[in-house]
Amino acid sequence: MFSPVTSVLILQAGTPPDDVSSVVGDISTWFIDALGVSLASLEIIPIYQGEPLPAPDASRVAIITGSWSMVTDKHPWSEALAQWIRDAMAIEMPLFGVCYGHQLMAHALGGTVDYHPGGCEIGLQEIHLTAASRNDPLLQDWPKRFSAHLTHLQTITHLPAGAQVLGFSEHDPHQIVRYGVNAISTQFHPEFSPEIAAACIRRRAASLESEGKDPTALLAVLGETPEAKRLLLRFIERSDPLNLIEFQQEKTHVIA
C-alpha cells in the first residue's frame, strides 16, 4: 500500500571545522536554507555524535549529508548508518545521499570507496548527464550539463551491483548514482551556496596550491547552482506526490 511522505529526515554525518562554521554556519543550516521546508516537516539527527537512528520509515524522505570524516575510517556511527541504509533500501524508503552520504550509500550496498587517485575535486564544476539519464524519471528532462559545487577527497571506486551512473564530471565518473527506485545520490553538494563553497576553498588554499590548483581562480568563478539545488528539491517532491511537505518558498520558484 502507498504511504504518503510526510516529513524530511536529515541524517547529519558531520560538522564543519571552526574556520568554516564560524563563517557559514553548520551543515544543518545549509540544508534548511537550501530546502526551505517548514521546520515542522523537518527532523535533524546529528548521527556523527552517536545519536540513535530512528527506524527506517517509507513515509519519510531521508537525506544523508556530507562530512569531514572519511567513509574508509569506518567509524562506528558510520557503519551503523550503513546498516540503516540497507534496512531502508529493503522497504524502498526515499534516500538521497550527498558527498559523504553518496559514498556511504555505495559502501553500504556493496561498492567500494577510497581516495581519488587524481586528488581533490573542489569548486564550481560542470556535471554531465549520461545517456541513461534520458530514461530516468528524475532527470529525463534535465539539462545535459549544469554547474555544481564540489569538495571531496574520496570517491566511489567501484559501484554496487545494479547501481546506475546518471552523471559524471571531468574529474569523477560517479557524480550522480541511482541505487533503486527511491534511492539516489550525488557527489556534488546541492545544498552549497557560493559562500559555503568559498569558505571550503579558503580553508584548503595552501594544500590546493601544493597540488597545482589556483584558489584565487577557483573563487573567481563561483556562482549559483540552481539545477544542482533543484535536483534535491525535485527528489523530495517526487517522493511526496500528495504535497504533504510544505516548502517555505512558492513551489513554482523552486521546482521547474
The one-character DSSP state at 130 is -
- Classify residue 183: in a domain, yes or no: yes
**Number of separate domains in the chain:** 1
Answer for the pair 224, 194: CB distance below 8 angstroms, yes or no: yes
Instruction: Check whether 254 has a pLDDT greater than 50.
Output: no
Q: What is the pLDDT of residues 163-191, one digit of tens each?
A: 999 999 999 999 999 999 999 999 999 99
Helix, strand or coil for residue 146? strand
Q: What is the DSSP letter of 223?
A: -
Q: 38 vs 165, which has greater pLDDT?
A: 165
Give the tens place of pLDDT for each residue, 118-142.
999 999 999 999 999 999 999 999 9
**Residue ranges making up the domain that contains 246:** 7-254
**What's the sign of the alpha-carbon dihedral 248, 249, 252, 256?**
negative
User: Which residues, including other chains, have CB under 8 Å from residue 34's CB and lie 6 or more apart?
Assistant: 190, 191, 192, 193, 229, 232
Q: Domain for residue 18, yes or no?
A: yes
Tell me the pLDDT band of 22, cut-offs 50, 70 and 90: very high
- φ, ψ of residue 129 to 5 degrees: the values are -85, 145
Residue 2 counted as domain residue: no
Specify if 69 maps to a domain: yes
Whether 1 is covered by a domain: the verdict is: no
CA distance 38 to 15: 22
Find out whether 160 and 111 touch, Cβ atoms under 8 Å: yes
Indicate if the pLDDT at residue 236 is higher than 70: yes
> What does the alpha-carbon distance between residue 136 and residue 180 come to, in Å, rounded to a whole number?
11
Which of the pair, 248 or 178, is modelled with greater confidence? 178
Instruction: Give the integer Cα–Cα distance in Å for 145 and 130.
Output: 10
Domain containing residue 31: CATH number: 3.40.50.880
Contact 228, 190 (CB under 8 A): yes
Residue whose grid cell is 554525518: 13
Q: What is the dihedral of CA 137, 140, 143, 149, to 10 degrees?
A: 30
Residues 196, 20: Cα–Cα separation, whole Å: 8
Domain membership of residue 179 (yes or no) is: yes
Q: Residue with C-alpha cell 512558492?
A: 250
Provide the percentage of residues in the chain whose pLDDT is more than 70: 95
Residue 1 has pLDDT above 70, yes or no: no
40 is a domain residue? yes
